[in-house]
C-alpha cells in the first residue's frame, strides 16, 4: 500500500528495507507500531542520502570477483556493519536519551535472523543489532579534537599507502654455455628467462587494466550517487511532514532531504506551515474553528529550527475569539482583538518569535480613550488615535488568515 512519496507499507514485509537503484523505495511492515515509523524512515533516508543502494551492490560485485580471498570476505562483512552504524549515527544525533531508547526498541522489534552475506536490500534490522543498540544508547557527539585527530590519521594513512612506488623493469638475458653456466660463471637456472619475464609483464599489464576498470566503475557509481542525492534533496525540500500515529500526529522536519527532527502534537492538533525568510515554521493548534470552507485558529504554538538544527518551540500566538484569527503578512504574524493589534516577527539573533509592533486603545470609566504603541526600544508609550487607525488600515491591507489543516 502506497503511503506517500517513496514510502510503501506491505503485509509480507518483516523488516523495513530499501529496494531499487534509480528510484529506490522504502518498504515498511504493516505489523510495525506506527510510533516507530519516524525512526525507521530517518534511518532509511540516511542510506539514500549516502547512496548506499549503489555502494552495497558494488561491494558485493567486488566480493563475487574475489570470492577466493578471505580478506575480501571480512572487508565486505565489516563494510555492511559500517553502513548501518553510520546511518544509525545520522538518525540519532538529534535525538534525546528517551528518543534513542525508542529508536533502539524499534531496531530490536525489526531485527531479523542474521545472514552471512547479502547484497540487497538495505534492511533496517538485519546487521549487528546487538552492537548497534549499544552504540545508540551510548552515543555521544564527537568532540572537535576527536574529529581533527581522525582526519589527521586518514591523511597520514593516505600519504603512506595510496602512493605508488617508482617502478622500473630490467630484463637480463644471459648467454650460457653447454655446462649451463653463463659466461660470467653464474648458474643460468637461477636467472629468469626472457619468456618468463615477458609472461610476468603481461600478467602485470592485465592486473593494471582490471584495476583501471574498477576505478572507472567506482567513479560511475559515485556520479550516480551524487545525482540521486540531488534528486532526493529536490523531492524533500525543507518543511514539515505529518505522520499519523493513532490519535497522535508526529511532524518530521526535513532539511535538504535529511531528517532534522520530530515534533509531536496533541491528539486533535491542526497544523500550518508558514515560510519566514528561508525558514519554514510549523504552527500547531487545538483551538481551531470552521469559517465556511476554511479552518482558522484563535491560538497556536510556533516551532522552528534551533541552534543545533533540531526542532524547538519558539513562541505562542493568542488572539481574542473567532472574529480575530491568527494572520500573517509581509510585516509578520498578526494577533488582534477588539482593542489591540500586535505584530510578531522571527528574531534572527535569538531564533525566537518576538513582539515588534503593538497598537492598543483603552477606555476609562467616562469612556475616554487612550492610545498606546511600542517605541523603538520596545517601551509602551502613548500614541494618537490616528496612529491606532493607521495600524488597523495596514492590517486590513497586509494580513491574511493562516489556513490550518487537520491530519
- Provide the pLDDT confidence category of residue 45 given band limits of 50, 70 and 90: confident
Interval 290-316: pLDDT, tens: 999 999 999 999 988 776 667 788 899
Q: DSSP letter for 321, please.
A: S
pLDDT-derived band at 341, boundaries 50, 70, 90: very high
Least confident residue range of 11-25, 235-249, 261-275: 235-249
Domain boundaries, the chain: 2-137, 162-235, 239-401
Could you give the angle at which helices 70-92 and 129-137 cross, rounded to 10 degrees? 40
Range list of H helices, 17-68: 37-50, 52-65
Say whether 181 sits in a helix, a strand or coil: strand
Any alpha helices (H) in 174-275, and if so which ranges? 194-235
Name the residue with cell 523505495.
25
The continuous run of DSSP H or E covering 358 comes out as strand 353-363
Contact 221, 54 (CB under 8 A): yes
Please name the helix (run of DSSP H) or strand (run of DSSP E) that holds residue 382, with its range, or none.
Answer: strand 380-382
Cis peptide before 121 (omega within 30 of 0): yes
- Do 221 and 55 form a contact (C-beta atoms < 8 A)? yes
Q: What's the mean pLDDT when you consider all of the chain? A: 76
Cell of 407: 491530519
What pTM value is reported for the model?
Answer: 0.43
Three cell numbers at 139? 552515543
Rounded-to-integer distance, Cα 66 and Cα 61, Å: 9
Length of the chain in residues, anyone?
Answer: 407
3-state SS, residue 145: helix
Contact (CB, 8 A) for 296 and 325: yes
**Average pLDDT, integer, range 361-385:** 91
Summarised one tens digit per residue, pLDDT across range 50-59 is 888 788 888 8
Q: How confident is the model at residue 84 (pLDDT cuts 50, 70, 90)?
A: confident
Using alpha carbons, list the distances in angstroms from residue 230 to 93, 212, 260.
22, 27, 17
Pairing of strands 294-297, 299-305: unpaired
Separation between Cα atoms, residue 296 and residue 405, nearest integer Å: 9
Has residue 15 got a pLDDT over 70? Answer: yes
Amino acid at each position: 500500500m502506497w503511503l506517500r512519496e517513496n514510502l510503501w507499507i506491505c503485509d509480507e514485509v518483516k523488516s523495513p528495507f530499501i529496494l531499487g537503484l534509480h528510484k529506490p523505495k522504502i518498504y515498511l511492515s504493516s505489523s510495525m507500531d506506527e510510533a516507530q515509523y519516524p525512526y525507521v524512515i530517518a534511518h532509511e533516508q540516511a542510506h539514500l542520502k549516502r547512496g548506499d543502494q549503489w555502494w552495497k551492490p558494488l561491494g558485493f560485485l567486488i566480493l563475487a570477483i574475489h570470492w577466493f580471498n578471505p580478506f575480501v570476505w571480512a572487508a565486505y562483512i565489516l563494510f555492511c556493519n559500517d553502513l548501518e552504524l553510520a546511518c544509525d549515527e545520522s538518525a540519532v544525533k538529534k535525538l534525546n536519551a528517551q528518543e534513542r531508547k525508542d529508536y533502539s526498541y524499534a531496531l530490536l522489534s525489526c531485527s531479523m535472523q542474521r545472514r552471512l552475506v547479502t547484497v540487497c536490500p538495505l534492511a533496517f534490522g538485519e546487521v549487528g543489532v546487538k552492537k548497534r543498540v549499544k552504540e545508540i544508547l551510548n552515543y555521544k557527539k564527537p568532540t572537535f579534537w576527536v574529529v581533527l585527530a581522525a582526519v589527521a590519521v586518514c591523511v597520514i594513512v593516505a600519504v603512506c599507502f595510496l602512493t605508488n612506488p617508482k617502478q622500473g623493469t630490467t630484463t637480463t638475458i644471459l648467454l650460457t654455455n653447454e655446462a649451463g653456466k653463463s659466461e660470467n660463471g653464474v648458474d643460468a637456472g637461477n636467472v629468469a628467462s626472457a619468456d618468463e619475464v615477458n609472461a610476468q609483464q603481461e600478467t602485470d599489464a592485465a592486473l593494471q587494466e582490471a584495476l583501471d576498470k574498477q576505478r572507472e566503475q567506482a567513479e560511475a557509481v559515485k556520479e550516480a550517487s551524487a545525482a540521486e542525492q540531488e534528486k532526493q534533496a529536490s523531492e524533500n525540500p525543507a518543511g514539515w511532514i505529518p505522520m499519523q500515529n493513532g490519535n497522535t500526529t508526529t511532524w518530521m522536519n526535513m532539511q535538504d532531504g535529511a531528517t532534522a527532527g520530530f515534533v509531536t502534537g496533541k491528539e486533535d492538533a491542526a497544523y500550518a506551515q508558514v515560510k519566514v525568510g528561508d525558514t519554514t515554521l510549523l504552527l500547531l493548534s487545538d483551538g481551531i474553528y470552521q469559517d465556511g470552507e476554511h479552518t482558522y485558529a484563535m491560538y497556536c504554538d510556533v516551532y522552528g529550527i534551533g541552534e543545533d538544527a533540531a526542532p524547538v518551540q519558539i513562541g505562542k500566538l493568542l488572539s481574542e475569539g473567532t472574529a480575530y484569527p491568527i494572520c500573517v503578512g509581509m510585516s509578520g504574524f498578526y494577533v488582534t482583538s477588539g482593542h489591540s493589534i500586535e505584530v510578531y516577527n522571527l528574531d534572527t539573533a535569538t531564533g525566537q518569535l518576538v513582539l515588534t509592533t503593538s497598537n492598543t486603545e483603552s477606555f476609562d470609566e467616562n469612556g475616554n480613550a487612550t492610545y498606546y504603541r511600542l517605541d523603538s526600544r520596545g517601551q509602551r508609550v502613548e500614541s494618537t488615535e490616528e496612529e491606532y487607525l493607521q495600524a488597523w488600515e495596514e492590517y486590513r491591507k497586509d494580513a491574511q488568515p493562516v489556513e490550518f489543516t487537520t491530519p
